[in-house]
Structure 1
Amino acid sequence: MAITIKDIAKRANVSTATVSRVINDIGGYGSETRERVLRAAKELGYYKNAAATSLVTNKTKTIGIIIPDVSTSFYGNIVTGIEDIAYDYGYSVILTHAGVEGKRLSDSLKLMVNRRVDGIIIVSIYLKKEQQVMISRLGVPTILLSTISEDNRLPYIKVDDYEAMYHATQYLIDHHHQKIGLAGVNPNDKVAGEPRLLGYLDCLVANHLPVDKALICYGDFSFDAGRRAMEYYVHHRLPTAIVCASDDTALGVISIAHQYAIGVPEQLSVIGYDDTSIAWMTTPPLTTIAQPFYDMGARGCKRLIQAIANEQAIVSEIIPFQLKERKTVRMLENESE
């Protein structure tokens, strides 16, 4: 026999109207009541008809996630954070790839419209004005994670990439390094590339160190970008330390260093950026700038759900980074090394 809201109301000792409001996430009840109703529903094995509910409430309890299709490894923790919070609030998620630099963003947005999502989370894709117009016409609450939009028109949650790269470069300088390379950064990427490049450059200038363009190897934040950079350094000019645009890039640097028997950190210090799982799996474990990806995903999803429920604006937030000290940076004994 099918379980009904009357059965749940009896078990939870509330009215059927209250059960209906909780199950359909309409509001008008306290947190204790919500927990009691949901617990009763779970104990009775109740499953609501999502299609029928969406017709009544005009909500599908679905969140769309749009990420680019790139060869870096940090998206997993962001998506896990989103999914965990979505599950807690009774939402499901749809994940789609928009291609490198969001080239298929319009197709991804069309998919979200067709699936009638209640909110959209866009990860690590810089949005220009025309794309913002496209999103605004959808009338769906949207938040950006680890990215921004032109003129900061859409709400976002991210770290300060400029300050993080400045801090990483300063850490190497404090360890007496003066010949510091920068590997894997894309100067045309306004989200992460441009601010990280400026953070590196400004830190050198602030410490009265020369800016040597021969020590900057541009790339796309990938493992291969790190390998190409290190090949260049080996055959042209090897710095004493390299700050990398990502952990993937740092591992590419370390892999080529190993091929040429260049010891890390004995002969070359390396700092990554992101603190993905590979940072502590590598040998030696990677010193890196840690972005709180899981927390970023969880916070973003929670704020989006609150905006959906209360029809309130989402406030942007800069969240703190950390420098995780591990085993790939060496203190030089003197500045002439």
Structure 2
Amino acid sequence: MAASIKDVAKEAGVSIATVSRVLNDINVVNEETKKKVQEAIKKLQYRPNIVARSLKTQKTSTIGIIIPDISSQFYPEIVRGAEDVANIYNYNIILCNTDLDTEKEMEYLRVLREKMVEGILYMSSSLQPKIFNLIDELQIPTVLIENRDEDKKYPSVTIDNEAGAFDAVNYLIKKGNKKIAYIGNKDNGSNVTYLRYEGYKRALKENNMELDDKVVYSGGLKVEDGYEGIIHIIEENKIDSVFCASDECAIGAINALRERNIKVPEDVDVMGFNDIYEASIFYPKITTIAQPMYDMGSVGMRLLIKIINKQKVEETNFELPYQLIERDSCK
């Protein structure tokens, strides 16, 4: 049977109230008594009843993290950065995977409120008004990661996705490419991949190149989307390069090109986005725009914990630097 606070008090020879003060770090207990209580806790392997404590204090030391796709290689590194910081400040996390489903996102927000989390790190493939309405209704401190709302009302940590895509396509143009395809998403103005599509379009425009919808494929960000995107594009079009809105798309695109005996990069340059681990070991190694994934998680968690504890926050919308990584998938 698990030890109770009463057992700890008896073992240490103190009152239950004294044990409670030690557990809650209330600085009225002398060091000798505190040491006795701590030794009793260790000996009895006592663990406080978190539910009971949270009901009394309204603090659970728990933070919810919502991600859209746990199978993606992009999000685990963000979660790792967030968790490492949470551990430093003695917070636990609850991880929720929404499978790119907005209704599931909303349900998890409600569940996390019922679990009395103190804050939420929120990652989404898109940000819809009903999501923000629910966040406002639930009144849980929330920090957006990867995405941000247009008005910057909500705290956020992201990169400049439009500028990153612009630099990526500019790089392909400087390599001498004339027909640059795009694989990603272009249908939702609040989606980060839509911003990458905007960067793609701007790079073409500023280099006096025409936008050709026949070489633009709007789909998801997984390997199969890149594969299907290339099949769709090259069926009736000749391209010399492709900008993919994720590295996983780029991997699928390269596989599809290989199957049709089209060499990368000799025949077609392929550019990715994110710099997931596999981009550095896949063959050919993928040229990409690197996002500071770990830093996005750690900065977001530090910001959220400050907000939870009502500490002074000078900046609430962080835009972290990205980097173009040159590898072997471009000539």
Name the CA distance, whole Å, in 2 between partners of 1:176 and 1:46.
67
Name the CA distance, whole Å, in 2 between partners of 1:202 and 1:279.
25
For residue 16 of structure 1, report the CA deviation from its aligned partner: 8.7
| Matched ranges for 1:241-256 at <5 A | 241-256=241-256
For residue 163 of structure 1, report the CA deviation from its aligned partner: 0.2
For residue 71 of structure 1, report the CA deviation from its aligned partner: 6.0
Name the CA distance, whole Å, in 1 between partners of 2:203 and 2:101.
28
**TM-score normalised by structure 1 residue count:** 0.82
Name the CA distance, whole Å, in 2 between partners of 1:129 and 1:152.
13
For residue 101 of structure 1, report the CA deviation from its aligned partner: 4.6
Aligned to 2:322: 321
Matched, 1:51 2:73: no
Aligned to 1:178: 178
1:126 partner SS: coil
Change in Cα spacing, 1:62 to 1:80, as seen in structure 2 (3 Å) is same
Name the CA distance, whole Å, in 2 between partners of 1:204 and 1:70.
33
What letter is aligned with 1:234?
A: I
Name the CA distance, whole Å, in 2 between partners of 1:210 and 1:267.
21
Name the CA distance, whole Å, in 2 between partners of 1:132 and 1:265.
43
1:151 partner SS: coil
The answer as to whether partners of 2:142 and 2:155 remain within 8 angstroms in 1 is yes
2:54 partner SS: helix
For residue 189 of structure 1, report the CA deviation from its aligned partner: 5.1
Specify every segment of 5 or more residues in structure 2 that has no aligned partner in the other structure, as ranges: 13-17, 28-34
For residue 106 of structure 1, report the CA deviation from its aligned partner: 2.1
Name the CA distance, whole Å, in 1 between partners of 2:269 and 2:69.
30
For residue 19 of structure 1, report the CA deviation from its aligned partner: 5.3
Matched, 1:151 2:151: yes
Aligned to 1:281: 281
For residue 276 of structure 1, report the CA deviation from its aligned partner: 0.9
For residue 43 of structure 1, report the CA deviation from its aligned partner: 8.5
For residue 291 of structure 1, report the CA deviation from its aligned partner: 0.8
For residue 172 of structure 1, report the CA deviation from its aligned partner: 0.8
Matched, 1:104 2:133: no
Name the CA distance, whole Å, in 2 between partners of 1:260 and 1:329.
18
What letter is aligned with 2:328?
A: K
Name the CA distance, whole Å, in 2 between partners of 1:180 and 1:151.
32
Specify every segment of 5 or more residues in structure 1 that has no aligned partner in the other structure, as ranges: 9-14, 29-36, 331-337
For residue 69 of structure 1, report the CA deviation from its aligned partner: 3.8
Aligned to 2:15: none
Q: Give a deviation string over 1:196-242, Cα, whole Å, max 9, x none.
A: 11111111111122222222122112212211121123321221111
Name the CA distance, whole Å, in 1 between partners of 2:197 and 2:244.
10
Change in Cα spacing, 1:19 to 1:295, as seen in structure 2 (3 Å) is farther
Change in Cα spacing, 1:110 to 1:97, as seen in structure 2 (3 Å) is same
The answer as to whether partners of 1:126 and 1:148 remain within 8 angstroms in 2 is no
**TM-score normalised by structure 2 residue count:** 0.84
Change in Cα spacing, 1:18 to 1:206, as seen in structure 2 (3 Å) is farther
The root-mean-square deviation of aligned C-alpha atoms, in Å, is 2.9
The answer as to whether partners of 2:244 and 2:250 remain within 8 angstroms in 1 is yes
Aligned to 1:219: 219
Q: Give a deviation string over 1:168-207, Cα, whole Å, max 9, x none.
A: 0011111111211111233325221321111111111111
| Matched ranges for 1:8-157 at <5 A | 20=23, 22=25, 47-69=47-69, 72-149=72-149, 151-157=151-157
Change in Cα spacing, 1:18 to 1:324, as seen in structure 2 (3 Å) is farther
The answer as to whether partners of 1:185 and 1:244 remain within 8 angstroms in 2 is no
Name the CA distance, whole Å, in 1 between partners of 2:185 and 2:119.
32
Residue identity (%)? 31
Change in Cα spacing, 1:110 to 1:245, as seen in structure 2 (3 Å) is same
For residue 80 of structure 1, report the CA deviation from its aligned partner: 1.1
Aligned to 2:31: none
Name the CA distance, whole Å, in 1 between partners of 2:100 and 2:255.
25
Aligned to 2:305: 305
Name the CA distance, whole Å, in 1 between partners of 2:42 and 2:251.
48
For residue 54 of structure 1, report the CA deviation from its aligned partner: 1.9
1:288 partner SS: strand
Aligned to 1:196: 196
The answer as to whether partners of 2:181 and 2:243 remain within 8 angstroms in 1 is yes
Change in Cα spacing, 1:269 to 1:253, as seen in structure 2 (3 Å) is same
Name the CA distance, whole Å, in 1 between partners of 2:21 and 2:327.
53
Number of equivalences: 310
Greater Cα offset, 124-133 or 267-276? 124-133
2:209 partner SS: coil
| Matched ranges for 1:156-167 at <5 A | 156-167=156-167
Name the CA distance, whole Å, in 1 between partners of 2:244 and 2:309.
41
What letter is aligned with 1:165?
A: A
Aligned to 1:31: none
For residue 116 of structure 1, report the CA deviation from its aligned partner: 0.6
